[in-house]
Structure 1
C-alpha cells in the first residue's frame, strides 16, 4: 500500500495577482524537490509543471489542488514538514490562501494506483463529513493511530 494526499486552497486574490507571485515562483523548485524526495511516487501535473491550472471546482479558477502519492506516511511527512524549501512555502500559506477546513486529506491506495482529482475531492469530503479514520485521515490522526497500535 502507498499513501495518497490531496491539498487544496483558494487564493485570497485572483491567482494571477502580483500578491501571489512568490508562491507561483516557488512551485517549480519545490516540485523538483518533491520529484527526487525519498518515497515520492507521483504528483498531479496540469499543462505546466504544476497543477494550478486544473479545475477541481468548475468556474472557480482561484481554487487550486495538489495531489501526490508516496511510499508511506513518514516519507510524505518528511517532505511536507522537514524539507526546507517546502516548509518555507508552507509557513507562508496564510499570506496567499483563505482558511479552509479540511484543506488536506491522506488515504491509502494500492501500489500502482494513480488517484483522480475526483477521488481526491471525495476523500476530502469524506474527511470533512466523517472526521478522520482509516479511509481518509490527517497526519495527526495517523500519528495517534501509530501510538495506539
Structure 2
C-alpha cells in the first residue's frame, strides 16, 4: 500500500518590508514557531533556505512570505495550525499581512518521500484558484481523502482463475 503525506502551501503578502519595525514581532517569533512545527506530532518536512526560513523566497513576488511543509496527516497539520501556539500568530495576522482576495493556502496529497517544489506548490494553488477544491488541490474547509491505490497493483492484467 502506498503511503501519502499531506503537503501544504501558505502564502501571505506582507504589510511592510520583512526587516521593518512593523514586522519585528513576526520575525522574532519565526524561529520559535518553526521549531514548534518541527517538534509537532506528524511533522515531516518544511521548505527552508540555508538561513532556516523561507522569507527570502520571492517566487510569488517580493513582499510575500511562503510556508511549504509536509505532514503525515491532515489531522496533524490541523492540530499544529489551530491547536498549538501557532494559533497566536494567526490571531495577529492583520498586524503583519494584507487580507488576501483569493485563495492563499492549499493542501494536496503526495506519495511519502516526495518533496514538493515551489513550482509544484504554485501549480496546486493555481488549480485551487481556478477550479475550487478538488482531490488535486483543496483546503481545510473541503478536504479529500488519501488517494487509494490503483485496483491493479501488479502492473498488468489479472490472470483468469
Same fold (TM over 0.5): yes
1:136 Cα deviation after fit: 0.4
| Unpaired runs of at least 5, structure 2 | 146-161
1:131 Cα deviation after fit: 0.3
1:62 Cα deviation after fit: 1.1
**SS of structure 2 residue aligned to 1:133:** coil
Question: Which residue, 29, 33, 51 being the options, matches 2:32?
Answer: 29
Alignment of 1:1-149 (within 5 A): 1-57=4-60, 60-83=61-84, 85-100=85-100, 101-142=102-143
Q: RMSD across aligned C-alpha pairs, in angstroms?
A: 1.2
1:95 Cα deviation after fit: 1.2
1:56 Cα deviation after fit: 1.6
1:12 Cα deviation after fit: 1.2
**SS of structure 1 residue aligned to 2:86:** helix
1:27 Cα deviation after fit: 0.4
| Unpaired runs of at least 5, structure 1 | none
1:25 Cα deviation after fit: 0.6
The answer to whether the 8 A contact 1:47-1:53 is kept is no
1:82 Cα deviation after fit: 0.3
Residues 34-81 of structure 1: CA deviation (Å, up to 9, x unaligned) = 101100000011131111111223xx3211111000001000000010
**SS of structure 2 residue aligned to 1:9:** strand
Segments ≥4 residues shifted beyond 2 Å: none
What TM-score results when the alignment is normalised by the length of structure 1?
0.91
What TM-score results when the alignment is normalised by the length of structure 2?
0.84
